[in-house]
A = this chain, B = another copy of it.
Amino acid sequence: MRVSLCQMAVGRSKEANISKAVNMIIDAAKRGSKLAVLPECFNCPYGTKYFKEYSEELSVGNPTFDAISKVAKENKIWVIAGSIPEKSDGKLFNSSMIFDSEGNLQHVHRKIHLFRINTDTVKMDEGEVLSAGNEATPVSMGNGIKFGVAICFDIRYPLLAWKYASEGTSFLVYPGAFNMVTGPLHWELTARARAVDNQQFVLMCSPARDTEAEYIAWGHSMIVDPLGNVLATADEKETYVDAELDLSMIEKTRKQIPIMSGVRHDAYSLKWN
């Protein structure tokens, strides 16, 4: 199954951002991809001061929902719509919409682990304006294929990936926007770690780097295979990262190095409330 990560440049114009996303999804479909992934915060500059202004409800009649649903349907392609600031009941969430190839919203993942950082060069606390989600739910694509979606800082938490794997996912998708501190330190490492721990593919989709932005994204969108090898990656500029996911590799990897069947379900378990 061919997949495309759309490492798009995100600017100040919400309309232009949505239009860019739509065009990149159309191009992904033309190249034969069955699934396109957009980055975290693809309709909005990444920053707490922007989230309210750019937020929308995730339902028909709202511009981001309508545009992505339409392009998914018209191009018969699944779309993991990175994330946008979601407005719901007077709260804001950092949320990813997952549309199937008929344009139906199959799932919303609300970022569970809100991002905080406090270094000399980067400071940010999403919790100042965002509320956190509480749920992990694998999405079924048909033909027995399931995947899990989580957002950026969520990748720091191996128990969330573990939860998805225990539900039978074949790949994990993380729209994310690591920065110039955590990007070089941990972007590839965590992607490869989640892939190897759970013996499945991992897709990480970043915005392109905008050095004029307050928060500068690392880029380097990446697709990792179940052995932890980087199948495809990018530099920091606006581009695609495409790969063919050979899902049979999962079973083969698990037979060779039986991590998954060695889980000691009798000794410990993960409880999701």
Contact = CB atoms under 8 A, between A and B. Distances in A.
Interface of A: 112-114, 116-119, 132, 134-135, 153, 156-160, 162-163, 182, 185-186, 189-190, 192-193, 196-197, 227-228, 255-259, 262-264, 266-273
Given A196-B190, A256-B118, A271 B273 contact: no
B262 A114 contact: yes
Q: Which of A119, A132, A163, A256 has the most CB of B within 10 A?
A: A256
A114 to B, nearest CB: 7
A266 B112 CA distance: 11
A135 B257 CA distance: 23
Contact of A159 (B116, B156, B159): B159
Given A159-B159, A228-B185, A257-B182, A113 B193 contact: no
A273 B262 contact: no
Contacts of A268: 159-160, 163, 270-273
A118 B186 contact: no
Nearest to A186: B196
Contact of A118 (B157, B159, B182, B258): B258
Contacts of A266: 134, 273
12 contacts: A118-B258, A156-B262, A157-B264, A159-B162, A182-B257, A185-B196, A190-B196, A193-B196, A267-B272, A267-B273, A268-B273, A270-B270
Contact of A116 (B132, B160, B262, B272): B262
